[in-house]
Structure 1
């Protein structure tokens, strides 16, 4: 029988953690029996793979590292207890061989009111269930007033409850020690999986709207800002720059605001876009890779999943790292240094300056990539590492 994996993912600031988790689940589902416990806004088009059992916890929001109810009529403590009970119930019924916590304990500490009871339950059973942390490439990039205390806490939690840390990065590009200096204090086994990148589907489930947009018979510039909480200034500048671009380029701009982009603000942008013949503005798509494969230029933020899509497709790109998410700045600077992208700085967002920068990018000679390839098979490697780990209890270092 296949071994069982309980995958616990709390995504509260966007959909990056969800998208990466779903890609990992696609690989895990081939080799394991998987139960996916998720907590966050529902996003149409982002469903778990066939065969994966899905359990959704009642929604809680996060603000300033504190949780709050999504519905003001609810009692916070009651919702928290419901979530704890449900998480423990799923564990008892599913009886997993392995628990994977997405991000925790390196982040999401505001949700440990439910994570700790689950980890304590596992500990009380003699740790028959192996516990694994699934972690992105860059952590703790922004300033922390209590950085040492937070780092102490992370090390203690890893050493107390976790058997394995899977880092979804290529250490040739970014080593965890660069953003977490006390990695040697972690006693758990640490393995790098490579980056988790979405695999282009041979038969993507494109909507009629996707097909209509992709069939536009013009060279395209793709503009995306991830989930839509960040990067508003980039999207607004693109809309203002599009008339300047239309005078010099025959390109159609296809822009996506993201599923969490504020509705009222999106309506105003639609009004601005309505009179611009070279611009198509949509809320979001669940099938971004076909757009990147079509585009002559991708303009985006530098979140984990968008960056991996850029690297996977090899699209010519310009990146605006959000100043509210410091991991993006680190990632973008490394990519530009390797010649894999061009950074858009805040001072470039003047519509005329931005249009000139875009035109110059498209008119320049293509860059020949001579750097060593970045490992993008992180989802597949995650599954193979877990197979070996669970079969042998320890993976050879």
Structure 2
């Protein structure tokens, strides 16, 4: 009998959440599972979803880094009518098949703004005559909450609704307890998978990337300070001022801003949109300069390239800083704060990164395949 999985994912600013969800979905599909991926935002054009059946839910995003509001892709505030339509779409998609597995990406360890949708989805799963296995997929580091009761609520939701908590990290590197104070309460649910590589990418064209500095920013919605500094940093670098700096601008950056970056670029600096061959560009590069989002960091680690991280740290965001600092402790990167970033400081960080000895600290990868293995084993045990 063919197993069927339903994956729910919502990315609000960056694209890392949907990239991880798709990778796990494709790993399940390669094991013979029919996978439906329900996405609450537009899937980025650089993401290959392969064999997954895609359900496009009424789309929303966060208008800024505060994550206090949800808006439509036209920047209109969502209302009760929109929420009702979103819940209806999710439940309808879930009821189309007899799914054996329900996987929610991040929730309940984030995305509390979507509780109006995901609690009904969980209740619909529980109400089925043969309820599916329910699992959640979370990255290595959670964003800490100011109110402790919110984190306790996360643990309660996991205990009440979930059979498995997949943590996509190397436990010798970062453990859930490093960013979640109630990890001990759900320890029996936790399985570490290793890091989930987002995609293999494709071979870079011609000589693109060879000995270059590759500047990237994921979707780019919150990367203005990094991009602006990178455009003028090349001539200030002693160790990377003699090579091309290739600045990749994410697809969330509006066209007018993208063209402004192109016009501002100095000699030796090229500006283009983010590319599917980004992982291969890194393997050829002299240096990577980026924020410290989950998927970008994994691409950097896989490539083994020297790296500078300017972690996104606006508002109350701590996740990227914690990840970047963990890498710096292992000698894998130089970290420079995003706040007040200047071309001079970025050039100095680039020189420091290129002076680092190459680290041989191996990080556990293969998280998508391991996630699929864990979930399939859970399904077998449930059926036994």
Report the TM-score when normalising by structure 1: 0.88
TM-superposed deviation, 1:37: 0.7
Residues 1:33 and 2:25 are matched in the alignment: no
In the TM superposition, residue 357 of structure 1 has moved relative to its aligned partner by 3.9
Question: Equivalent residue of 1:280, what SS?
Answer: strand
Q: 1:217 to 1:73 in 2, by over 3 A?
A: closer
* Cα drift, residue 221 of structure 1: 0.6
* Structure 1 residue corresponding to 2:73, chosen from 56, 59, 70: 70
Partner of 1:242: 234
* Cα distance in 2 for residues equivalent to 1:291 and 1:318: 16
Q: Is 2:284 aligned against 1:294?
A: yes
Q: What is the Cα deviation at residue 185 of structure 1?
A: 1.8
Deviation at 1:29, TM superposition (A): 0.9
- Tell me the SS of whatever aligns to 2:70: strand
Distance in 1 between residues matched to 2:134 and 2:260, nearest whole Å:
47
CA distance in structure 2 between the aligned counterparts of 1:246 and 1:253, rounded to whole angstroms: 14
1:355 correspondence with 2:369? no
Q: 1:259: which partner in 2?
A: 251
Cα separation, 1, equivalents of 2:313 and 2:82: 33
> Alpha carbons of 1:352 and 1:139: their partners in 2 closer, same or farther (altered >3 Å)?
closer
Moved more, 313-322 or 192-201: 192-201
Residue of structure 2 equivalent to 1:339: 331
Paired residues of 1:173 and 1:374 also in contact (CA < 8 A): yes
1:248: Cα distance to partner? 7.1
RMSD: 2.5
How many angstroms apart in 2 are the aligned matches of 1:347 and 1:91? 43
Q: Aligned residue for 1:104?
A: 107
TM-score by length of 2: 0.91
Please list the CA deviations of residues 323-359 of structure 1 after superposition, one character each: whole Å capped at 9, or x if unmatched: 2231111111111111011112358833234334434
Runs of 5+ consecutive residues of structure 1 not aligned to the other structure = none
Q: 1:217 to 1:263 in 2, by over 3 A?
A: closer
CA distance in 2, matches of 1:33, 1:382: 16
Alpha-carbon offset, residue 235 of structure 1: 1.3
Q: Which residue is 1:80 aligned to?
A: 83
Deviation of 1:67 (Å): 2.5
Q: Distance between the aligned counterparts of 2:48 and 2:219, measured in 1?
A: 16
Q: 1:384: which partner in 2?
A: 373
In 2, the alpha carbon distance for the partners of 1:218 and 1:137 equals: 31
Q: Secondary structure at the match of 1:186?
A: helix
* Residue matched to 2:269: 279
Q: Deviations over 1:10-52 (max 9, x none)?
A: 11122110111122122111111111111112421313112x2
Report what 1:318 is aligned to: 308
Larger-gyration structure (1/2): 1
Instruction: Tell me how far apart the structure 2 counterparts of residues 67 and 48 of structure 1 sit (CA, whole Å).
Output: 25
Q: Does 1:115 align with 2:118?
A: yes
Whole-Å Cα distance in 1 between the matches of residues 210 and 379 of structure 2? 51
For residues 278 and 143 of structure 2, what CA distance do their matches in structure 1 show?
28
Aligned residue for 2:195, secondary structure, equals coil
1:304-338 C-alpha deviation (Å, 9 max, x unpaired): 00000011111111111122231111111111111
2:60 is matched with 60
